[in-house]
Amino acid sequence: MEQLRSLGINRLSLGVQSFFEEDLRLMNRVHTVSQVETLLQIAPQYFNNITIDLIYGIPQMSEERWQENINKALSFDIPHISAYALTVEEKTALHKFITTGKIAPISDEQAYTHFQMLIDTLETAGFIQYEFSNFGKEGYFSRNNTAYWFGKPYMGIGPSAHSFNGKERSWNIAHNIKYIQQIQQGILPQEKEELTLNNRYNELIITRIRTMVGIDLEEVRTVFGEGYCQYLLQQAQKYLADELLVIEENHLKVTRKGRFLSDGIASDLFRVDDLT
């Protein structure tokens, strides 16, 4: 860790996921709880900006176990926590166990309860939910992810890395050896995609709606035109009526009631056909 700090690295991210061995085995993770705990005890000697990832919605995870996970994370006095609902990928052992009935998947209601427990506990501990899955103490929000969510240009270096300049997205090839060979020949091995106006509008919706700032209606009007802004407001009406969305200081935001449903809400705000 001392070597990492000497290289100028100032933020450490650890994929903890769970403080229970049973959960880690179920998700086929290679690290152990003792390894994670040792790292979290040593890391503050070298870094004061530390974040960990937790996973909720794991099959067989009780509310009590999830609460213990959150409390354990807080016991290390770290300033940032990201938490994600488990996604069961096809061709994994867990997917096979679920499809064959050996393990029952967790219900949406249980996952929702886990999410609400997370918000309650972390907010009480002084964390701010500045994005759907991210909680940080004041001054410790992720600058990297915030740049993505607000459409800032970024450059990716290395195999599989992605870049974005505001209107065009590019990604480097994934093959390590081919990437190195082409770089040595003075060739940047990447593919590009130019985003349409609809693409850019939809990306703004899906990223901004997940943040505590929300969607700036004036930005939509300025960048995309009055037609897009009116379309957005029209699509939002039913969610405003159900108190899943709210307009505050000309920003369209998801309410706490709607946070767990934000991806579904965003898809209804998308624009498919072009506006002229």
- SS3 of the chain: the string is CHHHHHCCCCCEEEEEECCCHHHHHHCCCCCCHHHHHHHHHHHHHCCCCEEEEEEECCCCCCHHHHHHHHHHHHHCCCCEEEEEECCCCCCCHHHHHHHCCCCCCCCHHHHHHHHHHHHHHHHHCCCEEEECCEEECCCCCCHHHHHHHCCCCECCCCCCCEEECCCEEEEECCCHHHHHHHHHCCCCCEEEEECCHHHHHHHHHHHHCCECCCEEHHHHHHHHCHHHHHHHHHHHHHHHHCCCEEEECCEEEECHHHHHHHHHHHHHHCCCCCCC
| Whether 24 and 102 share a structural domain | yes
What pLDDT band is residue 96 in, cutting at 50, 70 and 90?
confident
CATH code of 115's domain: 3.30.750.200
Confidence of residue 115 (pLDDT cuts 50, 70, 90): very high
Shared domain for 188 and 237, answered yes or no, is: no
In a domain, 202, yes or no: yes
Q: Is the pLDDT of residue 276 over 60?
A: no
CA gap 143, 154 in Å, rounded = 12
Residue 276 lies in a domain: no
103, 126, 179 from 122: Cα distances, Å: 30, 6, 42
pLDDT band at 275 (very low <50, low <70, confident <90, very high): low
> How does pLDDT run across 22-56, given as a tens digit for each residue?
999 989 899 999 999 999 999 999 999 999 999 99
> 21 and 125 in one domain?
yes
pLDDT at 232 over 90: yes
In a domain, residue 274? The reply is no
Q: Are residues 109 and 180 in the same domain?
A: no
pLDDT of residue 274 exceeding 80, the answer is no
Residue 133: pLDDT band by 50, 70, 90 thresholds? Answer: very high
169 and 42 belong to one structural domain: no
* pLDDT at residue 79 greater than cutoff 90: yes
Mean pLDDT in the chain?
Answer: 93
Claim to verify: residue 10 and residue 93 sit in the same structural domain = yes
Q: Say yes or no: 137 and 9 in one domain.
A: yes
Residue 275 lies in a domain: no
Whether the pLDDT of residue 159 is over 80: the answer is: yes
Min mean pLDDT across 81-85, 208-212, 259-263 is at: 259-263
Q: What pLDDT score does 206 carry?
A: 94
The range of the structural domain enclosing residue 165 comes to: 149-194
Domain count, the chain: 3
Q: Which of 271, 273, 270, 244 is nearest to 257 (CA)?
A: 244
CA distances from 240 to 107, 232, 247 (A): 26, 12, 8
| 137 in the same domain as 21 | yes
The pLDDT tens digits for 55-69 are 999 998 999 999 999
Distance CA 131, CA 54 (A): 15
Same structural domain, 223 and 128: no
pLDDT number for residue 90: 82
Picking from 192, 160, 207, 204, the residue whose alpha carbon sits closest to that of residue 179 is 160
Same domain? For 5 and 102 the reply is yes
Per-residue pLDDT, averaged over 158-172, amounts to 92
Q: Which one, of 16, 170, 37, lies nearest residue 83 by Cα?
A: 16
| Domain edge (last residue) among 194, 225, 257 | 194
* Domain co-membership, 79 together with 121: yes
One domain, residues 4 and 121: yes
CATH number of the domain bearing residue 244: 1.10.10.920
Cα–Cα separations (whole angstroms), residue 1 to 78, 120, 255 = 17, 33, 40
